[in-house]
């Protein structure tokens, strides 16, 4: 299961805001009869509305969403505006109020919720930071969940990638190209190999400590120096040749920059590799629940938007029957890749009481070895 107890944010729900939300939900549901003659929700709750299961679900939610008129979408996705434009084209009359940030997203939600301001309807994040549970989010019973790689009560996957080593193909050639994690501790890579400070970097170090051992990551730290960059910034330096090799480099970069643009960006296939997926959730206090459900369905319908993202942005598909990579790699049988999700319980169960404890240990390990070592 993907729902992991992270170091989440506990908030206080303001009574006045709850009344306002219930009033909004009631108004919408009373104006949107289902195909059976009933309303979207007998109890007028957000959960009932977003989990409407009639055969006319899309039509029903769209009609209600038009009455609501808008939906507020908080996301870390850098190209979210393109997705918003496409959604608004598919569903005229439903405006998306977008807040996109890779750094301030969780802080903003935390501050708003603690102030009793339930502003967001839909939350989408690949970086983590909010516990996906009933503190902030509504439990989902979506018709799309059965198709997901890792179905969960409170979130649905939208896009992902596999993380490995990226390198400049003009700087790293022939036998210098790493093909195994153990290759990276060879002294020949000292001064050529770098880690970055993206939020998922500690998770990769923890992953490597799990699969290769603690002595391995200690040795790795002697070769791999830290750059104060996001993984995308490091990617740009790899392509320019400023950085010969970098870790936590996404499979999507290989698709977008190597295959689509011919950039000198190589991507090593290791075994195993870590994957990570963004998850989309609906606020339990959503002021626009029909539009929130419509937007969530739009992102997570098999053959729909997720498939388009796999094609246009080279993201990994969240659907279990799809290949983990949306492209082929010469000489590699991509159907047999050994992939472990970043949140897989096998990485932490038996050693830590929760994923939060494992996550904190990873951050401390990364800081000790790569930032303060």
Indicate if the pLDDT at residue 373 is higher than 70: no
Strand ranges, E, within 114-196: 122-125, 156-168, 193-196
Smallest CA-to-CA distance from 164 within 124, 193, 127 is with 193
From 76-85, 127-136, 322-331, 336-345, the region with the lowest mean pLDDT: 127-136
DSSP assignment string, 200-262? THHHHHHHHHHHH-HHHHHHHHHH-EEESS-HHHHHHHHHHTSSSEEEEEEHHHIIIIIITT-
The pLDDT-based confidence of 307 (bands split at 50, 70, 90) is low
pLDDT at residue 195, rounded to an integer: 98
Could you tell me the CA-to-CA distances from 104 to 76, 127, 177, 189 in Å, in that order? 9, 11, 37, 35
Tell me what pLDDT residue 286 has: 97
Inform me whether the pLDDT recorded for 22 exceeds 90.
Answer: no
Residue 35 pLDDT greater than 50, yes or no: no
Dihedral of alpha carbons 32, 38, 40, 46, sign = positive
296 burial via Cβ count (<10 Å: 0-12, 13-18, 19+): buried
Spatial neighbors of 208 by CB under 8 A, at least 6 apart, are 181, 216, 217, 220
pTM given for the model:
0.79
Q: Which of 270, 263, 261 is nearest to 170 (CA)?
A: 263
pLDDT over 90 percentage in the chain:
64
Band the pLDDT of 298: cuts 50, 70, 90: very high
Query: What are the distances in angstroms from CA 188 to CA 175, 185, 192, 214?
Result: 11, 8, 8, 21
Q: Mapping DSSP to helix (H, G, I), strand (E, B) and coil, where does residue 124 land?
A: strand
Phi, psi dihedrals of residue 139, rounded to the nearest 5° = -70, 135
Residues 152-179 pLDDT 10s? 889 998 889 999 999 999 999 999 999 9
- The rounded distance, in Å, linking the Cα atoms of 163 and 165 is 7
CB neighbours of residue 241 within 10 Å = 12
What is the pLDDT at residue 147? 87
- Using alpha carbons only, give the angle 61, 36, 141 rounded to the nearest 5 degrees: 50
The tokens describing 320, both together, are: 């279990």
Judge whether residue 248 has pLDDT over 80: yes
Instruction: Return d(Cα 84, Cα 71) in angstroms, integer.
Output: 11
Rounded to whole angstroms, the maximal C-alpha distance in the chain is 71
Confidence of residue 20 (pLDDT cuts 50, 70, 90): very low
Does 125 score more than 70 pLDDT? yes
Q: How far apart are the first and last CA of the chain?
A: 35
> Nearest Cα to 318, choosing from 147, 130, 87, 133?
147
Q: What is the residue-averaged pLDDT of the chain? A: 86
In angstroms, the Cα distances linking 295 to 18, 80, 91 are 22, 12, 9
Tell me what the mean pLDDT of segment 126-153 comes to: 84
Q: Which domains does the chain have, with CATH numbers?
A: 15-159+277-312 (3.40.190.10), 160-275+327-371 (3.40.190.10)
Q: What is the mean pLDDT of residues 320-337?
A: 91
**Any idea which of 40-44, 121-125, 224-228, 233-237 has the lowest mean pLDDT?**
40-44
C-alpha distances out from residue 321 to 109, 267, 302, Å: 34, 24, 10
- Tell me: pLDDT of 3 over 90: no
The pLDDT, as a whole number, for residue 95 is 98
**Cα dihedral value 310, 311, 312, 314, nearest 10:** 50
Answer yes or no: are the C-beta atoms of 181 and 211 closer than 8 Å. Answer: yes
At how many degrees (to 10) do helices 355-366 and 201-212 cross? Answer: 100
Confidence of residue 40 (pLDDT cuts 50, 70, 90): very low
Contact present, 205 and 173 (Cβ < 8 Å): no
């Amino acid at each position: 299961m993907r729902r992991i107890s992270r170091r989440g944010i506990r908030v206080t729900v303001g009574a006045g805001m709850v009344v306002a939300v219930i009033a909004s939900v009631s108004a919408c549901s009373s104006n949107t009869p289902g195909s059976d003659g009933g309303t979207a929700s007998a109890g007028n709750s957000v959960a009932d509305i977003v989990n409407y299961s009639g055969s006319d679900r899309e039509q029903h939610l769209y009609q209600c969403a038009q009455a609501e008129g808008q939906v507020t979408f908080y996301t870390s996705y850098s190209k979210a505006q393109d997705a918003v434009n496409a959604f608004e084209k598919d569903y005229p009359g439903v405006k998306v109020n977008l807040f996109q940030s890779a750094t301030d997203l969780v802080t903003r939600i935390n501050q708003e919720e603690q102030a009793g301001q339930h502003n967001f309807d839909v939350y989408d994040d690949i970086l983590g930071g909010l516990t996906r549970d009933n503190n902030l989010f509504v439990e989902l019973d979506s018709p799309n969940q059965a198709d997901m790689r890792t179905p969960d009560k409170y979130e649905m996957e939208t896009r992902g990638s596999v993380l490995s080593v990226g390198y400049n193909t003009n700087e790293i050639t022939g036998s210098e190209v790493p093909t195994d994690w153990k290759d990276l501790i060879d002294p020949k890579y000292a001064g050529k190999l770098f880690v970055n400070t993206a939020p998922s970097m500690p998770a990769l170090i923890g992953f490597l400590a799990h699969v290769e051992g603690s002595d391995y990551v200690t040795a790795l730290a002697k070769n791999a120096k830290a750059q104060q960059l996001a993984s995308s910034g490091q990617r740009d330096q790899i392509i320019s040749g400023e950085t010969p090799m970098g870790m936590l480099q996404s499979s999507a970069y290989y698709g977008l920059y190597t295959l689509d643009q011919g950039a000198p960006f190589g991507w090593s296939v290791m075994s195993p590799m870590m994957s990570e997926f963004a998850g989309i959730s609906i606020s339990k206090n959503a002021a626009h629940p029909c539009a929130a459900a419509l937007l969530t369905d739009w992102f997570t319908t098999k053959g729909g938007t997720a498939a388009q993202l796999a094609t246009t942005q080279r993201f990994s598909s969240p659907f279990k029957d799809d290949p983990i990579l949306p492209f082929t790699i010469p000489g590699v049988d991509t159907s047999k890749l050994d992939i472990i999700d970043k949140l897989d319980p096998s990485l932490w169960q038996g050693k830590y009481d929760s994923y939060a404890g494992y996550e904190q240990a990873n951050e401390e390990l990364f800081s000790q070895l790569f930032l303060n070592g």
